[in-house]
Amino acid sequence: MPAPPTDELDGYEGRRGFWVEVRDPGGRTLHRRVMADPMDPTVEVFSAAPEATLRRVRAGRPRGAFTVVVPDLDGADHLALMGAPEGLDGLRTAGASAELARFPLGGGREAS
């Protein structure tokens, strides 16, 4: 399966949102894909009252799995999940995105 194209590689310092990055051993971003947060701890809830609006509430015990398709790039070392960290209430903060998790990529090929 072909990987989706990369989003912009520069200018993400201080941004909010969720994305995945393929990085080299030095931490340089080789590929970035912006996407909806698959680990969002909230769900949309509709009210029975017609004047009430849609709102988001914390899910009881969120769980699940998701798949991310990334390209097999020379020099790629790891995949980083970037997003807003959780606050003390367990919900995502309004601050800038930071690295949430890092996963090694197989192969470990060196760039030519």
Q: What is the pLDDT of residues 36-88, one digit of tens each?
A: 988 887 888 887 777 878 888 877 777 789 999 999 999 999 999 998 876 55
* pLDDT surpasses 90 at 94: no
What pLDDT does 90 receive?
52
**Cα distance between residue 93 and residue 101, in whole Å:** 16
Q: Write out pLDDT tens, residues 20-32.
A: 999 999 999 999 9
Q: Where are the beta strands (DSSP E) in the chain?
A: 19-23, 29-34, 42-45, 55-58, 78-83, 98-104
What pLDDT does 29 receive?
96
